[in-house]
Structure 1
Amino acid sequence: MEEQRPKVQRRVIAAAEADLARQKYVAPIDILSQLGWLPANFVDKWRTGRSAHLEGVAVDEAKVRTALGYLRSWAEQQGLLASEMPYLAGTRDRRPLRFTENGEPELERIFHTHWVSPNLSEKRREQLEARQSKAPDLVVISPVNDWTCRGCGVRGDAGEFMFLEDEAPHCLDCADFGHLVFLPAGNAAMSRRAKSESGLSALVMAFNRRRKRYQRLGILVEQAALESAEQKCLADEDVRALRRVRDAERRAAGDVEFQAEMAEAIRKAFPRCPGERPQRIAEHAAVRGSGRVGRSAAGRALDDNAVRAAVVASVRHLDTPYDELLMSGVPRPVARDRIRAEIDRVLDSWM
């Protein structure tokens, strides 16, 4: 039955099932994007109000209608709930967005219809709808080239913040952002609090040429909101410091327990391993964040091969001239070949 469906229908259903599992709703615009029919950069341009509509960006209207017809049929078969969602532009006026050039009623309604899981509670559904209908954050750009403000004609330098309105650059004063202060990214708690308390805010983005995408530099917020956020974060610092200490103690306790288990596994595999050597090997191999074999998935499972690898590494560096060979310029594969017999001799004596 699945193979008898048209290829486009199978792709639509696969994308819809993935979206429903991940976010509990399915939106037509997301499906078209996943089909590759609606480039993400055009959607971003549209959402921020720099493009009036999406008509002509995707494939032809007939294919779009066919794909969204498949989506509707699948959603109704699944018992999903239809909910019409507004789309607002990321502009100061938060104007409604159009999907089609002339606002064709039927196609606009199709695009606005989201399909929501019936398993969500009414409260959860209301929260989801509120989040979906929320306009994107206002975005201020840190440009890579010089620019000229459309409002006042003043020339701006590269890196000096500007606001794009209808594709035209505006300085912060002309965009009515001049009274806001910049909070660099890096302190998530402070950024979250400052943004929530600021009546007006904007994300600050810059284009990363190496990664070929925009990345967040920070936010613009009102001075009073920033000061309030700073005070609340300072008040919470003692609590967070205590939590960090407790987390560190808990991790340390877990490390000590795991190192003891690894040391015991080494003793079982190499019963003649002398004195405290098993414990020292385990402590070295199982250091958190070290990338050593003890922190690998196999090492944490105390796999026999991983335990042996930890012991071999210890013998290689402490019981053979391996390090001296490397320092004298001997290539690593050659050095390992030279000391292999010595490692085997030590391990045999520990068995």
Structure 2
Amino acid sequence: MAFPTTPRSPGRLVVVQPLKRKRCAGCRRGPLSLLLLEDGAPWCLACADLGHLVFLPRGDTALTRRSWEESSLSAVVVRFNRRKSRYERQGVLVEAAALARAEARCLADAEARRRRRAREARGRAMADERFAAAFTAEILRLFPGCPDGRARAIAAHASVRGSGRVGRSAAGRVLSEGAVTAAVVAAVRHVDTPYDRLLMSGVARYEARRRIAPSVEDVLRTWRGAGEEYAG
């Protein structure tokens, strides 16, 4: 069976992964795992003067591109897909030294990216610490009777990056009084009242909030030092 016409890439050789057992037209060795077609005849890589090249499977775009750049001789490797009636790229053949240089370049880039991510992570951590400290200070300003440890715990919980909690809302980021108060109320509700037990026993959320509202207000009144009403 003759091979379908192989794809042509300007300035690039095309090597085929055959679907059927083929022997080299020159040395008669076979079956060939890779071959170069010349005038419809299969040639092994050694006879085609490509035997010194190494195969790089597809998948790593940066490594493939750099291998092409570094290699003075290279070839595209394709295999025919019968179902789709077309050749599909499987990888490339490049010089071993070129692949080694390309890998070194990619590793250098990966290390640079790792260092950049580490710097960015440190920057985010420092920003998060500053924000949590500011949130803690605002809690203590609004609720001077709140123990320092509780204020820090509430701020840390409310301001976790990516959590969607009130501290990371638009209002929370500017430390609005409503957002800070909401964070304190939520903490008191879960820590200082039987709210969680009520939910677990099947009490509806709004009913559970109604039942524990006086307890929440008692804590807030103690921390605030004033008699403002709890909004629930």
TM over 0.5: yes
Residue 316 of structure 1 aligns with which residue? 189
Paired letter, 1:329: G
1:20-59 aligned at under 5 Å gives the runs none
Paired letter, 2:124: R
**Structure 1 residue 258 and structure 2 residue 134: aligned?**
no
**Shift in Å at residue 226 of structure 1?**
6.5
Runs of at least 4 residues off by over 4 Å: 91-94, 199-202, 225-229
Residue 194 of structure 1 aligns with which residue? 64
1:212-227 aligned at under 5 Å gives the runs 221-224=91-94
Alignment partner of 1:270 out of 128, 132, 143: 143
In structure 2, what is the Cα distance between the partners aligned to 1:153 and 1:221?
16
Structure 1, unmatched stretches of 5+, are 1-90, 95-151, 155-172, 184-189, 203-218
Paired letter, 1:288: R
8 Å CA contact 1:194–1:228 kept in 2: the answer is no
In structure 1, what is the Cα distance between the partners aligned to 2:102 and 2:200?
53
**Shift in Å at residue 276 of structure 1?**
2.1
Superimposed CA distance per residue, residues 118-173 of structure 1 (whole angstroms, 9 cap, x where no aligned partner): xxxxxxxxxxxxxxxxxxxxxxxxxxxxxxxxxx999xxxxxxxxxxxxxxxxxx9
Alignment partner of 1:345 out of 215, 218, 225: 218
**Shift in Å at residue 243 of structure 1?**
2.6
8 Å CA contact 1:195–1:221 kept in 2: the answer is no
* SS of corresponding position for 2:58: strand
Which protein shows a greater Rg?
Answer: 2
Aligned pair in 2 of structure 1 residues 277, 181: CA closer, same or farther (>3 Å)? same
**Shift in Å at residue 285 of structure 1?**
0.8
**Shift in Å at residue 291 of structure 1?**
1.6
**Shift in Å at residue 316 of structure 1?**
1.0
Superimposed CA distance per residue, residues 81-111 of structure 1 (whole angstroms, 9 cap, x where no aligned partner): xxxxxxxxxx9679xxxxxxxxxxxxxxxxx
8 Å CA contact 2:167–2:179 kept in 1: the answer is yes
8 Å CA contact 2:58–2:64 kept in 1: the answer is no
Structure 2, unmatched stretches of 5+, are 1-6, 11-17, 21-34, 37-54, 69-73, 78-88, 225-232
Aligned pair in 2 of structure 1 residues 334, 233: CA closer, same or farther (>3 Å)? farther
Residue 291 of structure 1 aligns with which residue? 164
Superimposed CA distance per residue, residues 197-229 of structure 1 (whole angstroms, 9 cap, x where no aligned partner): 437779xxxxxxxxxxxxxxxx85425477654
What TM-score do the two structures reach when normalised by structure 1?
A: 0.39
* SS of corresponding position for 1:302: coil
Residue correspondences, number: 162
Paired letter, 2:64: A
Alignment partner of 1:182 out of 39, 58, 63: 58
**Shift in Å at residue 193 of structure 1?**
4.3
Residue 29 of structure 2 aligns with which residue? none
* SS of corresponding position for 2:148: coil
* SS of corresponding position for 2:203: coil
What is the RMSD computed on CA atoms of the aligned residues? 3.4
Aligned pair in 2 of structure 1 residues 220, 346: CA closer, same or farther (>3 Å)? farther
1:1-351 aligned at under 5 Å gives the runs 181-183=57-59, 190-195=60-65, 197-198=67-68, 221-224=91-94, 228-351=101-224
What TM-score do the two structures reach when normalised by structure 2?
A: 0.57
Higher relative contact order (CA closer than 8 Å, sequence separation 6+): 2
* SS of corresponding position for 2:186: helix
